[in-house]
């Protein structure tokens, strides 16, 4: 059976902050329909990589190809309209806007029934909170709302930056179920520190360390790798 096609690819992607090379010659391939998790210790360059892919930071060295189109250097709004959207580690919501209005804004719907916006809220478990202001939502609900906004844009690929950050075990399980559902309609790339979360979801795992790809493969192979265990899992001297 042929492998699924590559929908996102980086080649030689690098970025410096002064003398620090935060992303260092990263080659990455993400295949259609998979849940691809990116892990690594703090400072490994994970969020910077997302920023480069999504256009939040300008990619000055290397290539980023999405659906066969070069997107390095394009602004975030153009990239999102191509079908590549993202969430952030810290939720970005408007305190005085309802959850439904957030989803409406993302979907650009003009239909009073708002089927796309309401459907996105329903998929993340916020249907009953549609009229609640963003500022009144709990932390976990704000994270879900960001995901609903991403879904309302009808993406081909979603980048999720630590979707379970600050959540308890019950909330983390709920997010895992939502991500599985999202993966039925879009390719998903997740930055995550919770290794149990990764074990339960990932088709492919990429390990970053000091801005470089240390290892890539299925989670079982990642956890057997001595270098990964040393720098990330802390199991070897």
pLDDT one-digit tens code per residue, 99-112: 999 999 998 766 66
Q: How far is CA 24 from CA 45, 84, 140, 185, in A?
A: 9, 22, 33, 31
Q: What is the DSSP letter of 44?
A: S
What pTM was computed for the model?
A: 0.92
CA torsion 70-75-78-82 (nearest 10°) is: 40
User: Is pLDDT of 138 > 80?
Assistant: yes
Report which of 214, 209, 212 is spatially closest to residue 14, judged by C-alpha positions.
212
pLDDT in tens, 70-80: 999 899 999 99
pLDDT for res 41: 87
Q: What confidence score (pLDDT) does residue 187 get?
A: 97
Angle between the 139-152 and 115-123 helix axes, to the nearest 10 degrees? 140
Handedness of CA 213, 218, 219, 222 (dihedral sign): negative
The whole-angstrom separation of Cα 50 and Cα 63 is 13
Say if residue 236's pLDDT is above 50: no
What integer pLDDT is reported at residue 37 of this predicted model?
Answer: 96
Q: Is the pLDDT of residue 219 over 80?
A: yes
Q: Report d(CA 179, CA 182) in Å as an integer.
A: 5
Report whether 158 contacts 185 (CB < 8 A). Answer: no
């Amino acid at each position: 059976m042929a492998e699924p096609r590559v929908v996102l690819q980086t080649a030689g992607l690098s970025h410096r902050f002064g003398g620090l090379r935060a992303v260092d010659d990263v080659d990455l391939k993400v295949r259609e329909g998979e849940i691809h998790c990116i892990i690594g210790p703090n400072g490994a360059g994970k969020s910077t990589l997302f920023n480069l892919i999504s256009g939040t930071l300008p990619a000055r060295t290397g290539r980023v190809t999405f659906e066969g189109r070069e997107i390095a250097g394009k602004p975030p709004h153009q990239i999102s309209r191509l079908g590549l959207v993202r969430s952030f580690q810290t939720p970005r919501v408007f305190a005085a806007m309802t959850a439904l209005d957030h989803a409406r804004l993302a979907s650009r719907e003009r239909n009073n029934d708002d089927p796309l916006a309401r459907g996105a809220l329903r998929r993340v478990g916020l249907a009953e909170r549609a009229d609640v202001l963003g500022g009144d939502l709990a932390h976990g609900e704000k994270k879900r709302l960001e995901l609903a906004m991403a879904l309302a844009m009808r993406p081909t690929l979603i980048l999720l930056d630590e979707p379970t950050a600050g959540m308890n075990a019950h909330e983390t399980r709920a997010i895992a179920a939502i991500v599985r559902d999202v993966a039925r309609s879009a390719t998903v790339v997740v930055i995550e520190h919770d290794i149990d979360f990764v074990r339960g979801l990932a088709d492919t795992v990429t390990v970053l360390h000091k801005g470089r790809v240390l290892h890539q493969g299925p989670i079982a192979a990642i956890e057997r790798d001595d270098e990964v265990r040393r720098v990330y899992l802390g199991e070897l001297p």
